Amino acid sequence: MALLPLFGSAVWIYKKWGAILKWFGRRKLAGMKDYMAVNPPNYTFDNKGVKIVVVDDNPDDFPLDYLRSTFGQVAVFDKISLSEASKLVGYDLIFLDMTGVVKEDLKYGGLQLIKKVKELPDSPIVVAVSRARFDPTATDYFKIADDVLKKPLTEMKCEEVVLDLVKDKLSPFKAADIIDSEILGKSKNDREKDKMNNLVFSFLDKKISLDVLRAELLNSYRHLDTSLVVTNVQRIKAAYAP
């Protein structure tokens, strides 16, 4: 009779062995890249998920009809104010001219705007477009940009640069690298790093909501860039959608 409790425990452990192994394995995960290696996402790049904005005083220099038929969303601004830079949040890629587009400075305002764009949360990719390649000011402008194209732009060149740059930006694997770098770089010690990672894992495993994840990060880990982590973990979460 004394053996019955032991036998019952052994049966319980046997039945729960898969869950136990998963639990121990989870604790050993070093970060998002490890998580995704254990839980491969169902991810396929979709052109229609790409959001593009053209900021140019001569939008006819772009194959707009082609871009709209190829990608998900294409917006156009022929003029914009520096104070309106936040309107560009949420776009994946910006085609940005240096001259003639910023109301405060039609000649060189694009240089100030590109600096503001690069400070935005989850900064969009910026493709600089201009004819002023030999202007010293334009040199600084082009250095900040992710890529440079000469106008007018062909359909083939537009699609090529968008796909080359955006595929990497929208990849959940890129998002995993960003989160891992942020947590590893900002955590005070291994214990805190594990807590941060486990919080993100809990969201991905549907144990907590996005609001709870955001609140926990803001309350307990203010030294972490919460917006950066939340944006990228949502990108990873989307890769697991059916």
Identity of the amino acid at 96: L
CATH classification at residue 124: 3.40.50.2300
Asked if 120 and 82 sit in the same domain, the reply is: yes
Task: Give the residue from 118, 142, 170 where a domain finishes.
Answer: 170
Asked if 143 and 63 sit in the same domain, the reply is: yes
Asked if 165 and 202 sit in the same domain, the reply is: no
Asked if 58 and 164 sit in the same domain, the reply is: yes
Within a domain: residue 3?
A: no
Within a domain: residue 208?
A: yes
Asked if 219 and 108 sit in the same domain, the reply is: no
Within a domain: residue 75?
A: yes
pLDDT of residue 66: 94
Within a domain: residue 141?
A: yes
pLDDT by residue (tens digit) across 30-87?
899 999 999 999 888 889 989 999 999 999 999 999 999 999 999 999 999 999 988 9
How many domains would you assign to the chain?
A: 2
Task: Give the residue from 114, 143, 170 where a domain finishes.
Answer: 170
Report pTM.
0.75
Within a domain: residue 115?
A: yes
pLDDT of residue 50: 93
pLDDT of residue 73: 93
pLDDT of residue 233: 95
Query: Which ranges of the chain have pLDDT less than 50?
Result: 3-8, 10-11, 14, 17-18, 21, 25-26
What range does the domain containing 124 cover?
47-170
Encoded tokens for 156 = 């083939």
Within a domain: residue 28?
A: no
Asked if 127 and 66 sit in the same domain, the reply is: yes
Residue with tokens 């690298």: 177
pLDDT of residue 150: 85
Within a domain: residue 37?
A: no
pLDDT of residue 136: 52
Asked if 140 and 71 sit in the same domain, the reply is: yes
For the beta sheet containing 93-97, the strands, ordered from the edge strand earlier in sequence to the opposite edge, are: 73-77, 51-55, 93-97, 125-129, 147-149
